[in-house]
Amino acid sequence: GAGVSQSPSNKVTEKGKDVELRCDPISGHTALYWYRQSLGQGLEFLIYFQGNSAPDKSGLPSDRFSAERTGGSVSTLTIQRTQQEDSAVYLCASSLATGGWGEQYFGPGTRLTVT
Amino acid sequence: SQQGEEDPQALSIQEGENATMNCSYKTSINNLQWYRQNSGRGLVHLILIRSNEREKHSGRLRVTLDTSKKSSSLLITASRAADTASYFCATEYTTSGTYKYIFGTGTRLKVLA
């Protein structure tokens, strides 16, 4: 079946511009996660959606970052007034887990480059 | 803060040899998971071991968990060139009734043909 998809696969933007990254989770997965990964580094948690509960935004690095999940499915991560340090691969994952995070299925990522 | 740290950071072995990588963490966990990341297939879940389990196997993978030492190891037996990838541990824990999840910094494994 279809896995997690993300778009765009690559995004180059100028410093100060806003960007939107999209994630389509696996159908039926109630949990959705956003991470970012800088070159050669591990994954940094950003935000976690679980069903209709309020999202866990504790990982968002600044108020320039926001995310929403419409209809319990597609999610959009928005970065306003991008900075060069925002350059990274942004990964989305989804899982069936309703208690705890469980096994996560990852998308291919969006590589964001801020010039 | 809770963090998974893998050791070694990089490992290079010959095809057919076994590869062992370790993960240490700081606080009590619900479970620990291992993931593999390579350029071809992205990040893929390998195995999950719960806090009340000590060892799990999946094919050529063997994972152990020692909660008293707050550490886990991933053993890949009879390695293949296709095992070349970065391997990450991720720990799930609960704080103030909220689930949290932390990825380690990864071990870069290179298997030489």
Q: Does the distance separating the beta carbons of A42 and B106 come in below 8 Å? A: yes
Q: Among A6-15, A36-45, B27-36, B102-111, whose mean pLDDT is lowest? A: A36-45
Segments of chain A scoring below 70 in pLDDT: 1
Give Cα separations from B96 to A112, B20, B93, B111 (angstroms): 34, 34, 10, 42
Confidence of residue B1 (pLDDT cuts 50, 70, 90): very low
Q: Does the distance separating the beta carbons of A42 and B104 come in below 8 Å? A: yes
Mean pLDDT score across all residues of chain A: 92
Confidence of residue B40 (pLDDT cuts 50, 70, 90): low
Chain B residues with CB inside 8 Å of A29's CB?
Answer: none
Question: What digits encode the pLDDT tens for the residues A49-68?
Answer: 988 888 999 999 999 999 99
Of B45, B102, B105, the CB nearest to A103: B45
Angstrom distance (rounded) from CA B87 to CA A104: 15
Checking if the pLDDT of B21 tops 60, the result is yes
Count other C-beta atoms under 10 Å from residue B35's C-beta: 24
| Both tokens assigned to B35 | 């993931």
